[in-house]
């Protein structure tokens, strides 16, 4: 089972990520693209990465904007190392 990260551990992890925020029991980031097609292509790439890690984000899409939120359901919907690792992979997309 995954262990929840403390607020201090989350703050430390966020220093290694690009513009992710700690919001309630998630880490969250918003992305803006030039078009809906670009946003959708990004979502698909995130989906393939999420599937390979067997860890899936909450995805919100409005036209050219995508907001991703990560938490670990198996750890009571809290932030764990799994979320940080997926965020790092998403940042590399």
pLDDT in tens, 1-40: 579 999 999 999 999 999 999 999 999 999 999 999 999 9
**In angstroms, rounded to a whole number, what is the distance separating the alpha carbons of residues 72 and 76?**
7
Q: Could you tell me if 64 and 70 are in contact, meaning their C-beta atoms sit under 8 angstroms apart?
A: no
- Going by C-alpha positions, the residue among 23, 14, 37, 28 that lies closest to residue 45 is 37
All domains in the chain, ordered by first residue: 7-91 (3.30.1360.20)
| pTM of the predicted structure, to 2 decimals | 0.95
Q: Could you tell me if 52 and 93 are in contact, meaning their C-beta atoms sit under 8 angstroms apart?
A: no
């Amino acid at each position: 089972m995954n262990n929840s990260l403390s607020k201090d551990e989350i703050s430390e992890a966020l220093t290694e990520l690009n513009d992710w925020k700690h919001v309630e029991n998630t880490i969250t980031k918003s992305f803006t693209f030039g078009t809906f097609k670009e946003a959708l292509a990004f979502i698909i790439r995130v989906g393939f990465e999420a599937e390979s890690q067997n860890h899936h984000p909450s995805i919100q899409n409005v036209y050219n904007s995508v907001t991703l939120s990560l938490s670990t359901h198996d750890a009571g919907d809290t932030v764990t190392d799994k979320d940080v690792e997926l965020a790092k992979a998403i940042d590399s997309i």
